[in-house]
Structure 1
């Protein structure tokens, strides 16, 4: 597997669950991911120059590959794992800001939110030379934990709320309790509606890498890397036994 350009948007089951919810048909949807994630962007580490910090896709990949092969890291996964990396990269600061803004709607991860905030802050600064390959803290690998994107947690909360109200509406009296639930649902729906519509409407082009196994992925991750002329880069790598839910967000 090598780097490919894909469209990032909600996976099919999440999209259908949200549409069902909007149509008054609450649907259960488990979007949980377990594993490890690490990311890098222009402002992670490196030499800070007066005008800006630059990072090529190649140097971002080098930083991530170094962690895939860091056998001195006591937490380096030893079992079979899946790897998915999602990269936003552009030669233009304005285009990079726009892409990060869209990506963080679907994946509000620190690496994309930080890149977006820093990029906006440096919009008016002049160009300078590319920085050296950034570093990622060591040990980079922690024990597997919940790495479910915040968006997925929000979606599950929305769906749980709809299911709770649907269940309560089918129960017998008291009517007062039901009325309170409906009132609470209305308030929650108003809060969620805008977010749901934004999630359903958002899609953005990204570069992606998908691999199986640490050693194999370390070799393949350097294939077909986006051009080094793309000097603004933010990349997030997911590592886990089953990354079906994040893979489902990547569309041809």
Structure 2
């Protein structure tokens, strides 16, 4: 039973959503106040977090930014704010998905399950990729650069693993969306581009002229084999 924290100030909506998720094998903790959400998420370490944006005392963007130092699980924004700016902003500060309200319950359920499948958890695999000073440990779901752990969200880890596992090969956006995001690329979604930008910053790449995670214009992205020494 997956543990989820739902942060939503509309108590009636939160109750209905929570009841639906509990009927589909989730253990749900409801939080209605933004200021309370950070403490709950950090202390309970749920399998997934659902965040509204417009909340009393602390908005969803601030909550997501605050928890990312101590919580690496998936975060899904469920909000009525549907501007591209808000969508991109949410991804840039560490969210894993962004769903616009109102949403059909089974669509929300599918998105949550896709995030949980991607996040995985401990597995029997002991696969480790080493590229110079970069080490990506699939079993532990951790990445290290020059011996120091790189703090990654679940989505960022999966993206890095896919790139590193295919180092030296150009991966198209279509491939990345299918293997990492779990759905077909619609030609418009910029979430992978945003995550690549965040990975570059965390991995010491040059954001203006990247040499580790390289953009191959018109084709996709490539993880260099030789740029990690």
State the structure with bigger RCO (CA 8 A, min sep 6), 1 or 2.
1
Structure 1 length normalisation: TM-score?
0.26
Name whichever structure is richer in strand by fraction. 2
Larger Rg: 1
Name whichever structure is richer in helix by fraction. 1
